[in-house]
Chain A
């Protein structure tokens, strides 16, 4: 009984030559696995990069919009101030011209 088992074990553990092209297939499989994992990493990196670029672009656009709005409000303030100053000086000239052209006030002497 034990001799039979021993024989069976010996038969089972007998070295067997691999089929022809086994090592090529193993190497090809390894290369395929490597390439697949590399593709996965590349894809994730691309997605992350695109997301970062989009985030930076949105943030940049928002900042630009804010700055533009501040510049616009400042320009508006300057415009109003410029028109106010122009008006003030026009008024000075207008008052002076009016004083010059208005007839002298009646002194009530009645002639």
Chain B
């Protein structure tokens, strides 16, 4: 009886610790992106990018400050702790597991995440969702989920995102002029 009570207590404690860890994990803006195992073999094109803090630092060291594009990229990643991208293109419609993409979308319902843009294009069958993790009026994470019948892309940027620096990237890497209004 005592053993059962002890076991129950330890399970409850473990659950508590795990939920604390999970909330801490969510709070830093990093999403749990599914493995998408075997999808790369099915896809016509796939891009899997995992840049953790150490790789980001390493990449920054190889950016040429004399090159305007590299200089802008270096500025943009100054407060960023990680960039995670999964992008797949297929030859057939909906060859990817929609449930896995929805699993990522579900994580964005956690406190702090705010949907910035929601695009639902029936004509092009294109959905784009842009979310920002806002903490103390600062953007600490960015998530983009874009899906079409034959492709989907998940982008997760972790860390403090300076919208002004993002603004400075306009015209580079295909980033549009965002016309972000500065607070006066």
Contacts and interface: CB of A to CB of B under 8 A. Distances in A.
A38 to B, nearest CB: 50
Interface string A77-107: 0111111111111111111110000000000
Interface residues of A, number: 27
B31 interface: no
A89 B128 contact: yes
Classify the interface of chain A: helix, strand, loop or mixed. helix
A89 B173 contact: no
A33 interface: no
A80 B60 CA distance: 11
B26 interface: no
A73 interface: yes
B47 A85 contact: yes
A92 B73 contact: no
A72 B128 contact: no
Contacts of A80: 69, 73, 173
Contact of B174 (A73, A78, A82, A91): A91
B104 interface: no
Interface of B: 47, 49, 51, 55-56, 58-63, 69, 73, 76-77, 83, 85, 87, 117, 119, 121, 126, 128, 130, 142, 144, 146, 153, 155, 157, 169, 172-176, 178
Interface of A: 68-69, 71-73, 75-76, 78-97
Given A68-B58, A79-B83, A97-B117, 16 more contacts: A72-B58, A78-B49, A79-B59, A81-B49, A82-B49, A83-B169, A83-B175, A86-B175, A90-B176, A91-B175, A92-B128, A94-B178, A95-B176, A96-B117, A96-B121, A96-B128
